[in-house]
C-alpha cells in the first residue's frame, strides 16, 4: 500500500472516530455524561494529545533528516564522479578505458534509479553495477605513469574511486526505513482516541464536522509526508536526478 493510500486511510479513520464520538454521545447513559466525567476525559485527552504531538514531530524530523542525508549523499556522490572523470581526463589518452567505464556506470545508475518510464527503484545493491566499479579500479591500477605528475593523478583517481565505493555502500545501507510501522500504528491509534473524545464533548453541527474533516486530512497528510520522506528515491518527494544528470553531461564534454 502506497503513502497516498495510507494517508487517506488514516484521514478516514480519524474522521470516522470523530463522528462516532460526536453522535455516539447520545447513546451514553446520563451518568456517563456528567461534568466530572467530561473533565476527566479532557484531562486524559490533553495528556494524550501532548504525547502524540511529540512523537509525530519526532517522526517527521527523523524522516526529514533521512531525506536530507540521502540528498546530500547523492550530491556528494555526483561531485566525486565528476572529480574522478576530471582526474582521468587530466591523465591523458591512456585513461580512455576507465573514463568510458565511468560514463557507462553513471548512465546505468541514472536509468536504474530515475527511469524515464516505469516506477522508480530504490538504490539497492546491483551485482553487475558493483562489478563495473571493480573493473574501473583495475583499469586505473593498470595505468603505467611515466612521471611524477602522472603518478600523482593515478593516486588521486584511486583515492576518489575508494571514496565512491564507500559512498555507494552508504547510500545502499541508508535505504532501510527509519520510521517503523509499529510506531506509526501507535501514534495513529492515539489520534483516533483523541478525536473520538473530542466528538463526545463537541456540539453537533456542520462547523464541527467540517473542522474534524480538515484536521483529519491534516493528520493524514503528515503521515503521507513521513512515509514519502522515509523513501527518498521513490514517490512524489523522490530525490532529484539533476546532480547525476549534470555529472554525466560534464563527462560527455569534449
CA atoms within 13 A on the CB side of 200: 21
Please indicate, yes or no, if residue 171 is contained in any of the structural domains. Answer: yes
Please indicate, yes or no, if residue 69 is contained in any of the structural domains. Answer: yes
Please, which residues have CB within 8 angstroms of residue 225's CB and are 6 or more apart in sequence? 60, 63, 237
Residue 33: predicted pLDDT: 63
Quick one: average pLDDT of 240-254?
A: 85
Please indicate, yes or no, if residue 142 is contained in any of the structural domains. Answer: yes
Please indicate, yes or no, if residue 11 is contained in any of the structural domains. Answer: yes
What is the extent of the structural domain holding 84? Answer: 3-25+35-40+48-251
* 70, 87, 101, 110, 174 from 106: Cα distances, Å: 17, 16, 9, 6, 20
Q: Read off the pLDDT of residues 55-65 as tens digits, 9 standing for 90 and up.
A: 989 999 988 98
Quick one: average pLDDT of 9-29?
A: 83
Residue 152: predicted pLDDT: 93
**What percent of the chain is predicted at pLDDT more than 90?**
23
Count of structural domains, the chain: 1
3-state secondary structure 109-177: HHHHHCCCCCCCCCCCCCHHHHHHHHHHHHHHHCCCCCCHHHHHHHHHHHHHHHHHHHHHHHHHHCCCC
Backbone angles phi, psi at 14, to 5 degrees: -65, -45
pLDDT band at 114 (very low <50, low <70, confident <90, very high): confident
Please indicate, yes or no, if residue 186 is contained in any of the structural domains. Answer: yes
pLDDT band at 119 (very low <50, low <70, confident <90, very high): low
Please, which residues have CB within 8 angstroms of residue 101's CB and are 6 or more apart in sequence? 132, 135, 136, 139
Residue 126: predicted pLDDT: 67
Please indicate, yes or no, if residue 225 is contained in any of the structural domains. Answer: yes
Q: Give the DSSP letter of residue 240.
A: P
Q: Read off the pLDDT of residues 189-239 as tens digits, 9 standing for 90 and up.
A: 999 988 888 887 777 889 888 988 999 999 999 999 999 888 888 778 888
Residue 253: predicted pLDDT: 73
Please indicate, yes or no, if residue 30 is contained in any of the structural domains. Answer: no
Q: Chain centroid to CA 51: how far?
A: 24
The total of other beta-carbon atoms located within 10 Å of residue 249's CB is: 10
The total of other beta-carbon atoms located within 10 Å of residue 200's CB is: 20
Q: Chain centroid to CA 200: how far?
A: 37
Say if residue 97's pLDDT is above 60.
Answer: yes
The Cα–Cα gap between 171 and 48 comes to 37
User: Coil, strand or helix: which one is 31?
Assistant: helix
pTM: 0.80
Amino acid at each position: 500500500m502506497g503513502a497516498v493510500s495510507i494517508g487517506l486511510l488514516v484521514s478516514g479513520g480519524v474522521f470516522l472516530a470523530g463522528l462516532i464520538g460526536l453522535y455516539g454521545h447520545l447513546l451514553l447513559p446520563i451518568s456517563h455524561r456528567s461534568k466530572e466525567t467530561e473533565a476527566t476525559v479532557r484531562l486524559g485527552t490533553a495528556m494524550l494529545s501532548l504525547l502524540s504531538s511529540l512523537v509525530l514531530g519526532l517522526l517527521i524530523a527523523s524522516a526529514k533528516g533521512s531525506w536530507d542525508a540521502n540528498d546530500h549523499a547523492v550530491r556528494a556522490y555526483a561531485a566525486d564522479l565528476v572529480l574522478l572523470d576530471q582526474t582521468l581526463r587530466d591523465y591523458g589518452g591512456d585513461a580512455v578505458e576507465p573514463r568510458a567505464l565511468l560514463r557507462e556506470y553513471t548512465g546505468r545508475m541514472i536509468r536504474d534509479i530515475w527511469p524515464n518510464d516505469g516506477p522508480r527503484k530504490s538504490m539497492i545493491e546491483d551485482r553487475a553495477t558493483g562489478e563495473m566499479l571493480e573493473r574501473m579500479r583495475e583499469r586505473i591500477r593498470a595505468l603505467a605513469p611515466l612521471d611524477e605528475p602522472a603518478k600523482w593523478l593515478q593516486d588521486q583517481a584511486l583515492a576518489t574511486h575508494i571514496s565512491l565505493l564507500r559512498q555507494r555502500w552508504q547510500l545502499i545501507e541508508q535505504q532501510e526505513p527509519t520510521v517503523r510501522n509499529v510506531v506509526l500504528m501507535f501514534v495513529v491509534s492515539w489520534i483516533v482516541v483523541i478525536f473520538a473524545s473530542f466528538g463526545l464533548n463537541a456540539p453537533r453541527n456542520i462547523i464541527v464536522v467540517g473542522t474534524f474533516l480538515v484536521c483529519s486530512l491534516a493528520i493524514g497528510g503528515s503521515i503521507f509526508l513521513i512515509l514519502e520522506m522515509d523513501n527518498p528515491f521513490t514517490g512524489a518527494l523522490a530525490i532529484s536526478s539533476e546532480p547525476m544528470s549534470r555529472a554525466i553531461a560534464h563527462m560527455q564534454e569534449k
